Amino acid sequence: MTDTAWRTISGRLGWFIAATFVVAMAAFALRQFHVIVPEPEFPPPDATLVDNLIRSFEHEQAHWIGDLVSSLTLAAGFVGLAILGTTLRRALDRDDAGGAVLAVIFLLGGAIGAASQVLYLGAIEVATNPGYCDCGFLAEEIISRGMARDIVNNVVFWMTDASVVLFTIGLWVFAALAPASGWVPNGLTMYARVVAVVAFLSVLWGRVAVPLLIAGRAELDFELIGGVLTLLVAGVLVPIWAAWLALSARAAAPELEETLSAGD
């Protein structure tokens, strides 16, 4: 395949990534801001741990369709990122070590990100299932489910953060390699660095700042702030980068793009 063909494929992947991340984050926002399912009420003073866990499971089940849409579309977007690294390497005409690093980083980041979303869906579906064992050990089962859910959620968070860190590195590598290609505008390379910095800061917020602030007993809505950062990075900055990349690739290969579109 020619460099022009690889640019066209990269552009189409860019549109795919932008669309999937926007849809995923729209579904995430509906949950984060309780647009469809109301925010859970505070438990009564005499509620037990088991009562609270059952209430949280019921709330998770009410969000199941939204979680399914969000996680599956986000997983698809991560798969697109995994493939994009290889196509970008060819589109940038970099068969050297730098191009290999770009391809590998995007592949690893996308694969880990996609796996995290599938793992989350599989765990939450079982952990919050409303069917309980009628064997006299309801409390033990509920507490075990809650612990299993917390463990899986923590694993998923770490996997997602690892994916984001890899993606930030990939963006820096892209910004370093892109200027020599002749078709990536300087504005896009600068913007890629901005996205990388903000994405990395979002990871530092969750992994460093939040534990320190909690230890200092700061009165902040950490979940809300984390949700806003997630929406900013995955719902705004990344889709803009992917769409800008697609537009740049199309501008560099208008004739081939029109030919391929006519043949669809």
Could you say which DSSP state residue 36 is in? S
Domain that holds residue 104: 3-255
Residue type, 156: V
Q: Is 261 a domain residue?
A: no
Asked if 19 contacts 234 with a C-beta cutoff of 8 angstroms, the reply is no
Q: Is 262 a domain residue?
A: no
Report the domain count for the chain.
Answer: 1
pLDDT recorded at residue 23: 97
Q: Is 47 a domain residue?
A: yes
The helix (H) or strand (E) run that includes residue 96 is none
Q: Is 77 a domain residue?
A: yes
DSSP secondary structure string for all residues of 176-224: HHGGGGSSS-HHHHHHHHHHHHHHHHHHHIIIIIHHHHHHTT----HHH
pLDDT recorded at residue 254: 57
Sole residue written with tokens 């990939």: 170
Q: Is 70 a domain residue?
A: yes
Reading the block at residue 49, the tokens are 């741990």
Q: Is 264 a domain residue?
A: no
Q: Is 218 a domain residue?
A: yes
pLDDT recorded at residue 244: 97
Asked if 152 contacts 112 with a C-beta cutoff of 8 angstroms, the reply is no
Query: Over its length of 264 residues, how does the chain's per-residue pLDDT go in tens digits?
Result: 777 889 999 999 999 999 999 999 999 999 888 888 887 777 787 788 888 898 888 888 888 899 999 999 999 999 999 999 999 999 998 888 999 999 999 999 999 999 999 999 999 988 888 888 778 788 889 999 999 999 999 999 999 999 999 999 999 999 999 999 889 999 999 999 999 999 999 999 999 999 999 998 888 888 889 999 999 999 999 999 999 999 999 887 654 445 445 555
Task: From 47, 2, 24, select the one nearest 242 (Cα to Cα).
Answer: 24
Q: Is 128 a domain residue?
A: yes
